[in-house]
Amino acid sequence: MIPQLDESNDFNSISSINSLNTFFMSEYYRHYKGNYYQKIGVARHSETLEEMVVYQALYGNHDMWVRPRAMFEEMVSLADGQTVPRFAPVSQQEYESSLETAARASDSALLDTLVEHFRHKGYTAEDFYGGCSLCGDANEFALDEIEAYLKKEMPQLSKFDRDRLTSQLYNQIHSRLDQD
């Protein structure tokens, strides 16, 4: 819910109004510790009528959170003395770009690690399809090993993201082993 601009609101300058508009227009935020969140909306506490920001983590289990708006918008001091916003607004393009960069970096290193793991265990490309690469039957044991590795090394992944990544890695590992 977007509050109405009236006498009860303390807006004495155009910059205050512009700041409010920027806050309500931005949907993506980067927390000062680095994770990204999407603002769902602004609600009011039922007893105190305090404005609360409802937002969702864009990582892990995608948990939903609520925080007083004043705290959401406040500045925090870092260990080095720098003062930064607790949640800095970012564009959707910046958020998506950060995802692509992280995915490329982690997928490449992750793929190399898993390929070496399966080579060390003596797997071949044929093993990945139960000895029948033409029928395309996946080796469930290999899929389980990849998923277990992701659970251990990347616990922040949601089940959806882990399943997606497991499937992608399975096919990429097969391609790499096929080149041996």
What is the reported pTM? 0.48
Structural domain includes residue 104: yes
Closest by alpha carbon to 176, among 105, 107, 118? 118
Do residues 83 and 101 share a domain?
no
Range of the domain at 170: 94-178
**Which H/E stretch holds residue 29?**
strand 28-31
Most confident region among 54-58, 67-71, 79-83, 154-158 by mean pLDDT: 67-71
Between 123 and 128, name the one with better pLDDT: 123
Split into its structural domains, the chain has a count of 2
Summarize the confidence of residues 146-157 as an average pLDDT.
77
Angle subtended at Cα 156 by Cα 155 and Cα 161, rounded to the nearest 5 degrees = 100
Summarize the confidence of residues 29-48 as an average pLDDT.
89
> What is the sign, positive or negative, of the torsion defined by CA atoms of 27, 72, 40, 163?
positive
Do residues 82 and 101 share a domain?
no
Do residues 42 and 115 share a domain?
no
Residue listed under structure tokens 């609101």: 9
Is the CB of residue 75 less than 8 Å from the CB of residue 85? yes
Do residues 79 and 101 share a domain?
no
Between 26 and 131, name the one with better pLDDT: 26
Do residues 57 and 108 share a domain?
no
Do residues 99 and 174 share a domain?
yes
Question: What CATH number is attached to the domain comprising 74?
Answer: 2.30.30.320
Do residues 53 and 117 share a domain?
no
Boundary residue ending a domain (32, 64, 90): 90
**Percent of the residues in the chain that have a pLDDT greater than 90, as a whole number:** 23
Q: How far is CA 109 from the centre of its chain?
A: 18
H helix runs in the chain, sequence order: 14-25, 69-73, 92-120, 140-153, 159-178
Confidence of residue 7 (pLDDT cuts 50, 70, 90): very low
Do residues 103 and 164 share a domain?
yes
Confidence of residue 100 (pLDDT cuts 50, 70, 90): low
Sequence-separated (6 or more) residues with CB below 8 Å from residue 26? 39, 89, 90, 91
Three-state DSSP state, 133: coil
